[in-house]
Structure 1
Amino acid sequence: MQDKKTAPPVFRGQLIELDIKGLNNEGEGVGRFAGFTIFVPGTAPGDRVTASVLSLQKTYARALLRSVLLESPHRVAPPCNHYSTCGGCQLQHLAYAEQLRLKQQILANTLRRLGGLDLAVQPVLGMTDPWRYRNKAQVPVGSADGIVMAGFYAPRSHHIVNVASCHLQHPANDQAVAAVRETLQALAIPIYDEKSHTGLVRHILARTAFATGETLLVLVTNGHHLPERERLVKMICAKLDNLSGIVQNINIQRGNVILGAEDIPLWGLPYLEEKLGGLTFRVSPRSFLQVNTPQAEILYGKIKEYAALTGQETVFDLYCGTGTIALYLSQGAGKVVGVESVAAAVADARANATGNGITNAEFCKGRAEDVMPKLLAQGYQADVVVVDPPRKGCDAKLLTTLAKIRPARLIYVSCDPATLARDLRHLTDEGFAVREVQPVDMFPHTRHVETVVLITRVEK
């Protein structure tokens, strides 16, 4: 039996009234009731609300917003009809300027709390028009009562919210998803069931190039056999004017990983081309590309500024994807070397170098933590290193290698403040100094923020 002295002052189902004082890393409002922390999604700092307690932990509770008694001056009406049920966005109810201010604050607090780093964080670089910016949609497919569902997961669940239009997506992505959904329904193509691991079509992936408006469409399937393949392709093509190609991706594994390792071209080209910084980039289904094309230009410009190249340096771009950063920096460097673990992305990077007439770039397949020591043993030098890891951050082995080679400038591009805090703590303990922390809003109206950090070695 729980000690009454330590028991939370609330219980499940209780209706409480509280003031919202801030946001947590999940984009949820934070308030206190009888000194106990309460997280309430959909609230804004400055709100006074009623909420019902949903779940309890030792140090906090999560509650469902019931009513707003007093509105924050920063609260706005979300334009999306699905906002209250879809889990894709967390901050549409906040004025955009306030979103940027809170992201700056959350980043600084995370670096201090998890990394023990009291760093000045620059104001977030936002967008002039923070809507319709996403070049990629990854949409789960399901069925309910014989109706094909395609949309996004509800918060903290795998329940699919059927979304006709997403205010963050390029309109062509919306059109592509709708065309596939209608065609799957018309042809009665089997839809994947996550619980039983049966059925066929699991996800729809659409990637659209802002430069051309062309869309690459990917159908992720739980097996190779695609019924009505020719009719399926013909019907989709009839609905969409600007397709670059249609690809089938095979994923027969259980779990949350969306794409499998095998791509089968069904029609057209198995890639599309996007332009960034005057360069043209080939992008395949599994290749990484920043999802916000307009802001990628801002992000890469900041990376170039931090690199401070004179034309002589050897630059390493680790976790390089399709080589966008490496090639963007190539004109100011003596040599650029990209390292990437996904074979298709490496092939794209090499094709991108050739297509843009860039001769001072090379790309290696493998994990950065494995490849980097081998290249250094072969005599490569590293004057400037850019790391752009996935959400889990850098491998500890790679951080140790970076500490040994001590590049003059290290530029860390992060999509997760928590792992950034961890890795910056490691690097500062190894003799590096953080010079500037610049967040860039790659994901308006969501809790996510991209950060680029300039790090230099401390001379002994």
Structure 2
Amino acid sequence: MKLQIEKMVYGGAGLAHPTEGKGAAGAVFVPFTLPGELVEARLTEKKSAHEEASLLNVLSASEDRTTPGCKHFGECGGCHYQHANYTAQVNVKTAILQDTLEHVGLTVLPKIQPRVGEQWGYRNRTRLRVEEIEGTLRVGYNQRGSNQFLAIQECPILAPLLWHAAEALLTIGADNSTVGRWARTMSEAEFFTTADEKKLQMSVFIQKKNQPGFSQFCDSMKQHVPELTGAGSSLIPPKSPQRQVQKPRPLEDWGAKGLTYQTTREDYWVGRGNFFQVNRFLVEQLITIVTEGRRGQLAWDLYAGVGLFSKQLAKEFQQVVAVEAAGTDLTNSFRGPGKLAVEATTVEFLRNAVVQRERPELIVMDPPRAGVGAEVCSFLARIAAPEIIYVSCDPITLARDLKMLAQAGYNIVELHLVDLFPQTFHLETVVILRR
């Protein structure tokens, strides 16, 4: 069928409405298209609210269409927008954010301010699948739309050191020595580097325990990648019949258990495997948007992670309370006068704060993709801090939460789209709310 692409939707596809034939008037999502394009597509799947189609041919291309920067684009599940020039990608994300917020009734909005950086080589972390194919060790990701392994030869959104480490792993795995045989036992490998690519952490995952040779493997990796400062191995448990997701079980350590991630403002200790913002070029701009010009007596940093915002806020507030459920790194590093690290869930912390009738001047929150939810929003409404800064990586859950906060008397005064994930449909938003 021929389709005119009207706009992009969150998830990476273009939206069209067929004008004739089967499915007329229903919404159809077509990946790898751009607004204004006339395309030929084939229906592939019917969902409850829309149908999905695969792109067969672009009959009339957008001026924004460009040549993808990676040979695996389209087949790999990682990137979604490499067929669009970068300016168009940012415009698409801005429109999606605007539409998503307006869809829930948030129509009085400030102009969205896009914040951008380098579009390639930005990722400071990757997790690769490792498989032996016809006697050769390969690394890769999932094929688009499936769990099938896709061996890759490049990944241009990674910091160069990460791909260099992946190539070193393959070089070692090609050897028939003890170290090479150990490399071939792993099923996944994760690499994390500092912004300047001077330090590297490695996590490897195996499916069978009692595999000797991990330390020798790390020594060999260090010879190929001198930036490697530490590594750990973990056992991935077999899938249970109940399909319960079980966490990998740590086995062995080698070297340092984390690294110090330096910015021009602060140093952050990031334990191996712990969360840190993935874009090595925009971390400092994100900190600036959230903390610049803010000062006072008391600030709370909820879902604080390693203290990305807490440490900067502590320079201007008399007391900063940083709250993190997995707070081992935070409690070890966020210490001293005016600094309090609380290892608790945000719900637990706020429930107690409501009882104690505590009221900070500023609340910063950077939740995971699921957002903060109704219970947290109800507590925030009762606490009624003068200013809330909401950092979100999912516009759908953000819109849901912002509507509840708006009903509680908060106004959205600033909207920043921080493009931490170029070439993909993912986007980061910073929202400034005041009462």
TM-score by length of 1: 0.86
After TM superposition, the runs of 4+ consecutive aligned structure 1 residues lying more than 6 A away are 255-259
Please list, as runs of the form range in 1=range in 2, the aligned pairs for 1:411-430 lying within 5 A after superposition: 411-430=389-408
Does 2:10 match 1:29? no
Whether the 8 Å contact between 1:313 and 1:384 is mirrored in structure 2 is: no
Q: Which amino acid aligns with 2:89?
A: Q
> What are the superposed Cα offsets for residues 269-308 of structure 1, whole Å, 9 maximum, x if unpaired?
1101111242111111232211012211111111114xx4
Of 271, 291, 297, which aligns to 1:304? 291
Does 2:416 match 1:438? yes
Please list, as runs of the form range in 1=range in 2, the aligned pairs for 1:53-452 lying within 5 A after superposition: 53-57=43-47, 59-113=49-103, 115-118=104-107, 119-127=109-117, 129-184=118-173, 186=175, 187-189=180-182, 201-211=186-196, 213-222=198-207, 224-252=209-237, 254=239, 260=247, 262-305=249-292, 308-310=293-295, 312-342=296-326, 346-353=327-334, 359-375=337-353, 377=355, 380-452=358-430
In structure 1, C-alpha distance between the alignment counterparts of 2:311 and 2:322, rounded to whole Å? 9
Per-residue deviation, 1:52:
1.9
Q: Which amino acid aligns with 1:208?
A: T
The match for 1:41 is 31
Per-residue deviation, 1:70:
1.8
Mean alpha-carbon deviation: is it higher for 248-257 or for 289-298?
A: 248-257
SS in 2 for 1:102: helix
Per-residue deviation, 1:121:
4.0
SS in 2 for 1:52: strand
Whether the 8 Å contact between 1:282 and 1:351 is mirrored in structure 2 is: no
In structure 2, C-alpha distance between the alignment counterparts of 1:66 and 1:333, rounded to whole Å? 57
Whether the 8 Å contact between 1:147 and 1:185 is mirrored in structure 2 is: yes
Whether the 8 Å contact between 1:50 and 1:67 is mirrored in structure 2 is: yes
The match for 2:434 is 456
How has the CA–CA distance of structure 1 residues 233 and 286 changed in structure 2, closer, same or farther, with 3 Å as cutoff? closer
Identity of aligned residues (%): 27
> What are the superposed Cα offsets for residues 109-149 of structure 1, whole Å, 9 maximum, x if unpaired?
11122x2211234132112x211011110122334444433
Per-residue deviation, 1:398:
1.7
Whether the 8 Å contact between 2:323 and 2:343 is mirrored in structure 1 is: yes
The match for 1:11 is none
Mean alpha-carbon deviation: is it higher for 284-293 or for 443-452?
A: 284-293
How has the CA–CA distance of structure 1 residues 183 and 260 changed in structure 2, closer, same or farther, with 3 Å as cutoff? farther
The match for 1:4 is none
Whether the 8 Å contact between 1:369 and 1:395 is mirrored in structure 2 is: no
In structure 2, C-alpha distance between the alignment counterparts of 1:331 and 1:126, rounded to whole Å? 26
In structure 2, C-alpha distance between the alignment counterparts of 1:384 and 1:426, rounded to whole Å? 18
Whether the 8 Å contact between 2:239 and 2:245 is mirrored in structure 1 is: no
How has the CA–CA distance of structure 1 residues 163 and 359 changed in structure 2, closer, same or farther, with 3 Å as cutoff? farther
Whether the 8 Å contact between 2:354 and 2:379 is mirrored in structure 1 is: no
In structure 2, C-alpha distance between the alignment counterparts of 1:388 and 1:254, rounded to whole Å? 31
Per-residue deviation, 1:67:
1.7
> What are the superposed Cα offsets for residues 48-81 of structure 1, whole Å, 9 maximum, x if unpaired?
2222221123543212112222211000101101
The match for 1:5 is none
Per-residue deviation, 1:257:
10
How has the CA–CA distance of structure 1 residues 423 and 58 changed in structure 2, closer, same or farther, with 3 Å as cutoff? closer
Q: Which amino acid aligns with 1:19?
A: Q
In structure 2, C-alpha distance between the alignment counterparts of 1:328 and 1:265, rounded to whole Å? 34
The match for 1:10 is none
Unaligned runs of 5+ in 2: 20-24
The match for 1:197 is none
Per-residue deviation, 1:380:
4.6
Whether the 8 Å contact between 2:4 and 2:37 is mirrored in structure 1 is: yes
In structure 2, C-alpha distance between the alignment counterparts of 1:440 and 1:158, rounded to whole Å? 30
> What are the superposed Cα offsets for residues 377-422 of structure 1, whole Å, 9 maximum, x if unpaired?
4575422101100000114322211111110111100000000011
Whether the 8 Å contact between 1:40 and 1:51 is mirrored in structure 2 is: yes
In structure 1, C-alpha distance between the alignment counterparts of 2:34 and 2:417, rounded to whole Å? 21
Per-residue deviation, 1:247:
1.3
Aligned-residue Cα RMSD (Å) equals 2.3
In structure 2, C-alpha distance between the alignment counterparts of 1:319 and 1:177, rounded to whole Å? 31
How has the CA–CA distance of structure 1 residues 190 and 287 changed in structure 2, closer, same or farther, with 3 Å as cutoff? closer
Per-residue deviation, 1:151:
1.5
Whether the 8 Å contact between 1:353 and 1:359 is mirrored in structure 2 is: no
